[in-house]
Amino acid sequence: MGVEEPRCRQFAQPEARGGATIRVEVWPRRRPGAGRGGGGAGQRGAAGTGLPSCGGREERREEGKKGGGRGVGGSRSAGLCAPTLHCSAFCPPPGHAPPAALAPQSPRRPQESSQSRLRRMGVPSPTPLSSLLLLLLILGTRCYARQVHVPRGPLYRVAGTAVSISCNVSDYEGPAQQDFEWFMYRPEAPATSLGIVSTKDSQFSYAVFGPRVASGDLQVQRLKGDSVVLKIARLQAQDSGFYECYTPSTDTQYLGNYSAKVELRVLPDELQVSAAPPGPRGRQAATSPSRLTVHEGQELALGCLAQTKTKKHTHLSVSFGRAIPEAPVGRATLQEVVGLRSDMAVEAGAPYAERLASGELRLSKEGTDRYRMVVGGAQAGDSGTYHCTAAEWIQDPDGSWVQVAEKRAVLAHVDVQTLSSQLAVTVGPGERRIGPGEPLELLCNVSGALPPPGRHAAYSVGWEMAPAGAPGPGRLVAQLDTEGIGSLGPGYEDRHIAMEKVASRTYRLRLEAARPADAGTYRCLAKAYVRGSGTRLREAASARSRPLPVHVREEGVVLEAVAWLAGGTVYRGETASLLCNISVRGGPPGLRLAASWWVERPEEGELSSGPAQLVGGVGQDGVAELGVRPGGGPVSVELVGPRSHRLRLHGLGPEDEGIYHCAPSAWVQHADYSWYQAGSARSGPVTVYPYTHAVDTLFVPLLVGTGVALVTGASVLATITCCFMKRMRKR
């Protein structure tokens, strides 16, 4: 058996109350070549270190490849092959099995107490004092012990899905890139290890896993030099069991643990996802539940049924997504609309976050397995194929939630018809020719596949008129807004005009008494609005009708005006009288005349380029209207005859100088008591220049002479006084 050396082992053992105790065992170390034959652990522990072989791993691997497994799974703790005294610290991660010396995972090395080993090898039992000294020596010495880490188990996953099990090694010696070997222990044969895959040997896999490794269903992926991941692309029911990650030793001393196990339990796939039939509130009752057509602005509602019968405690997350029409469905093309997370939080995709915050997008759970998404105010960008994706989540022992299953179902192919593509406007009854004073009626019809006005859509209709030959749509005559309230455009406030809705989509414009100025081109303008969040309306479309010509006959009124200054010459301070005689030819009975006086002020000898100023006038109803007199004095306007008007400027001053003219107009009153101008004219210019009186000119030389005399006398008097004062000072 040879000379044996004592060996120490230190490891932590959890107490019943969660603490830890340190136990030190001392047993003789066998010299190289004295190990037990057939043990797999010793060979794995010494691989790559230059230490003597303690077992025959290659023989057992060949047997496993042929027969499908190894005979007995051995412990991968430190062996008894190193020739020097050292300590081994075993610190398993929380939740993992204790080291092989405390709780053996394999019957490869039978349990034997340290006392019995010492007694068998002839080594005396350690005394309390020697044990204490050895413990102090161990605690004062820095020990390196290899540690292999895998996730805490058991891990629950669903058949048909993928799983990744990580493994990393720490506190090792040797190269930075370590090798890893994965083994499996099935529940029906817990002592038999089956080689799965290795980072070092491509022929490592046992026969039961060979085809899956070759196809890529089973593979090991290196993350770093000391970290790998075992990936199973599609779990099968027989994949349940313990998975062991083993790292061949590269240490100069055989310390620590070289493998770790984690349990994987494969659950049956119990997740079910399908489209929910339309509820009683479903507005999209189409010919097929899988194809829906909604109008822009309407509400889009889709339902999804998602449930699971897994016996373990799991959570479901449900997400509604949209893919553009005719696009393949995948994570890259499926855009999330809104989803219910596993923690019951509702979140929307980035393009829909604002609509969710405003309440336009909603997601609710109805019952135990029904989920309902409502998109208010559908837009053109909402068209596409909608899917419901349900995912099942389970909590791992480390507290994290992991998705274990996912399924997707097509809900509907949604087509959102925009209002701009459907809105159309026509007018009637055609070109109109009427006389002045006659009523004018025009009809506007709004057509197209449009939703009725109400909760989701609203419409406004108006009429525009442009004079013949004028560019552009013209000015607004009248309109009905989205609330059905009518209003008149600028310049039509004093007219008798009615705008009304005579049918579901027919609107009528009526002018009680047309005027020649009403002649022109008419168009009907319709606007469609959709209701967004709350009560806010958004204009979605607008359309104009073709032009409708309207002709109104002229009254045939011809006016002429002659104006002059009474007396011919006026002086300052006097009253200037300007007369205007008007002549009329044609026109209907009851024609009334109005006249106004205007002035253009000279600036530095020239007439002002600005508009003329109204001085005063008399309207067709006989009411006088006063403007602004340049001199600021009193003004009077009066009718001195049936067709004769007079303007008087009292107390004429220099500021009243200017060019005056008379502007008569003819007015006709219709049966609706509205007035319209049937004709107008302008007289010739009348110059008003206030002259100065002759007596006033005589005072000019007198005033000049008096001023000169006073200045001369003052100068002479000042000179005499100055000389006299000088002489007096000399005396």
CATH code, domain with 467: 2.60.40.10
The residues, any chain, with a CB within 8 Å of residue 241's CB and separated by 6 or more, are 184, 185, 186, 187, 263, 264
Count of other CB atoms within 10 angstroms of residue 711: 9
Distance between CA atoms of 245 and 258, rounded to whole angstroms? Answer: 8
Banded model confidence at residue 143, pLDDT cuts 50, 70, 90: low
Section 439-452 average pLDDT: 89
Q: Is residue 14 scored above 60 in pLDDT? A: no
Beta-bridged to residue 148, according to DSSP, are: 169
Best CA proximity match to 527, nearest among 476, 462, 450: 462
Whole-number pLDDT of residue 650: 92
Rg of the chain in Å (alpha carbons): 54
- pLDDT, mean over the chain: 78
Distance between CA atoms of 638 and 577, rounded to whole angstroms? Answer: 11
Considering the domain architecture, whether residues 626 and 613 belong to the same structural domain is answered as yes
β-pairing, 300-308 with 686-688? Answer: unpaired
pLDDT in tens, 647-702: 999 999 888 999 999 999 999 887 777 788 888 999 999 999 998 876 665 555 66
Banded model confidence at residue 469, pLDDT cuts 50, 70, 90: confident
CA dihedral for 408, 411, 416, 417, sign (positive or negative) = positive
Asked which of 295-304, 477-486, 526-535, 624-633 is least confident by mean pLDDT, the reply is 526-535
Banded model confidence at residue 533, pLDDT cuts 50, 70, 90: low
Considering the domain architecture, whether residues 601 and 658 belong to the same structural domain is answered as yes
Best CA proximity match to 80, nearest among 137, 26, 135, 122: 26
Tokens of residue 728, six digits: 């007096």
Q: Is residue 564 scored above 70 in pLDDT? A: yes
Highest mean pLDDT among 99-103, 215-219, 610-614 belongs to 215-219
Best CA proximity match to 45, nearest among 88, 2, 15: 88
Q: Is residue 522 scored above 80 in pLDDT? A: yes
Q: Is residue 420 scored above 90 in pLDDT? A: no
Which amino acid is it at 50? G
Which domain-ending residue is among 417, 435, 459?
Answer: 417
Burial level of 234, CB count in 10 A (0-12/13-18/19+)? middle
Report in angstroms the alpha-carbon separations of 405 from 207, 314, 315, 317, 337: 29, 10, 11, 10, 21
Burial level of 152, CB count in 10 A (0-12/13-18/19+)? middle
Considering the domain architecture, whether residues 448 and 564 belong to the same structural domain is answered as no
Strand order across the beta sheet in which 644-649 lies: 558-565, 576-585, 644-649, 635-641
Contact between residue 176 and residue 166 where contact means Cβ atoms under 8 Å apart = no
Tokens of residue 233, six digits: 């692309």
The residues, any chain, with a CB within 8 Å of residue 296's CB and separated by 6 or more, are 378, 379, 380, 416, 417, 418, 419, 530, 540, 541
Q: Is residue 140 scored above 90 in pLDDT? A: no
Considering the domain architecture, whether residues 46 and 189 belong to the same structural domain is answered as yes
Q: Is residue 49 scored above 80 in pLDDT? A: no
Banded model confidence at residue 709, pLDDT cuts 50, 70, 90: confident
How close are the terminal C-alpha atoms of the chain, in Å?
164
Beta strands in 298-359, from DSSP E residues, in sequence order: 300-308, 314-323, 335-340, 346-348
Considering the domain architecture, whether residues 390 and 449 belong to the same structural domain is answered as no
Highest mean pLDDT among 53-67, 345-359, 592-606 belongs to 345-359
Asked which of 9-13, 176-180, 224-228, 508-512 is least confident by mean pLDDT, the reply is 9-13
Q: Tell me, rounded to whole angstroms, the distance of Cα 216 from its chain centroid.
A: 41
Distance between CA atoms of 713 and 701, rounded to whole angstroms? Answer: 18
Q: Is residue 284 scored above 80 in pLDDT? A: no
Which domain-ending residue is among 526, 552, 578?
Answer: 552
Tokens of residue 602, six digits: 């000279």
Considering the domain architecture, whether residues 220 and 295 belong to the same structural domain is answered as no
Which amino acid is it at 329? V
Backbone angles phi, psi at 268, to 5 degrees: -70, 150
Whole-number pLDDT of residue 277: 79
The residues, any chain, with a CB within 8 Å of residue 223's CB and separated by 6 or more, are 166, 168, 229
Distance between CA atoms of 678 and 228, rounded to whole angstroms? Answer: 98
pLDDT in tens, 246-270: 999 888 888 888 899 999 999 999 9
Distance between CA atoms of 548 and 465, rounded to whole angstroms? Answer: 9
Which of residues 536 and 150 earns the better pLDDT score? 150
Whole-number pLDDT of residue 185: 96
In terms of DSSP H, where are the helices of 540-581? none
Contact between residue 425 and residue 462 where contact means Cβ atoms under 8 Å apart = no
Beta-bridged to residue 387, according to DSSP, are: 321, 410
Whole-number pLDDT of residue 608: 54
Tokens of residue 144, six digits: 């390196």
Distance between CA atoms of 524 and 427, rounded to whole angstroms? Answer: 7
Q: DSSP 3-state assignment of 540?
A: strand
Q: Is residue 148 scored above 60 in pLDDT? A: yes
C-alpha triplet 218, 224, 227: angle, nearest 5°? 60
Highest mean pLDDT among 254-258, 340-344, 503-507 belongs to 503-507
The residues, any chain, with a CB within 8 Å of residue 173's CB and separated by 6 or more, are 144, 146, 250, 251, 252, 253
Whole-number pLDDT of residue 184: 96
Whole-number pLDDT of residue 87: 39
pLDDT in tens, 70-115: 443 444 544 433 333 333 444 444 334 444 333 333 333 344 454 5
Considering the domain architecture, whether residues 259 and 210 belong to the same structural domain is answered as yes
Whole-number pLDDT of residue 363: 94
Whole-number pLDDT of residue 216: 93
Helix (H) / strand (E) element for 118: namely helix 114-120
Considering the domain architecture, whether residues 654 and 599 belong to the same structural domain is answered as yes
pLDDT in tens, 658-669: 999 999 999 988
> Scanning the structure block, which residue is given the tokens 């909402």?
382
Considering the domain architecture, whether residues 230 and 87 belong to the same structural domain is answered as yes
Distance between CA atoms of 437 and 440, rounded to whole angstroms? Answer: 9
Which of residues 42 and 606 earns the better pLDDT score? 606
* Domain tally, the chain: 5
In terms of DSSP H, where are the helices of 587-663? none
Q: DSSP 3-state assignment of 217?
A: coil
Considering the domain architecture, whether residues 403 and 434 belong to the same structural domain is answered as no
Distance between CA atoms of 60 and 62, rounded to whole angstroms? Answer: 5
Distance between CA atoms of 49 and 703, rounded to whole angstroms? Answer: 137
Asked which of 179-188, 318-327, 366-375, 491-500 is least confident by mean pLDDT, the reply is 318-327
Section 627-638 average pLDDT: 88
Considering the domain architecture, whether residues 263 and 284 belong to the same structural domain is answered as no
Contact between residue 414 and residue 384 where contact means Cβ atoms under 8 Å apart = yes
Whole-number pLDDT of residue 453: 80
Farthest-apart Cα atoms in the chain, separation? 164
Range of the domain at 125: 1-269
> Scanning the structure block, which residue is given the tokens 């600028």?
490
Which domain-ending residue is among 401, 417, 433?
Answer: 417
Asked which of 101-115, 335-349, 468-482, 689-703 is least confident by mean pLDDT, the reply is 101-115
Burial level of 552, CB count in 10 A (0-12/13-18/19+)? buried
Distance between CA atoms of 670 and 668, rounded to whole angstroms? Answer: 7
Considering the domain architecture, whether residues 640 and 516 belong to the same structural domain is answered as no
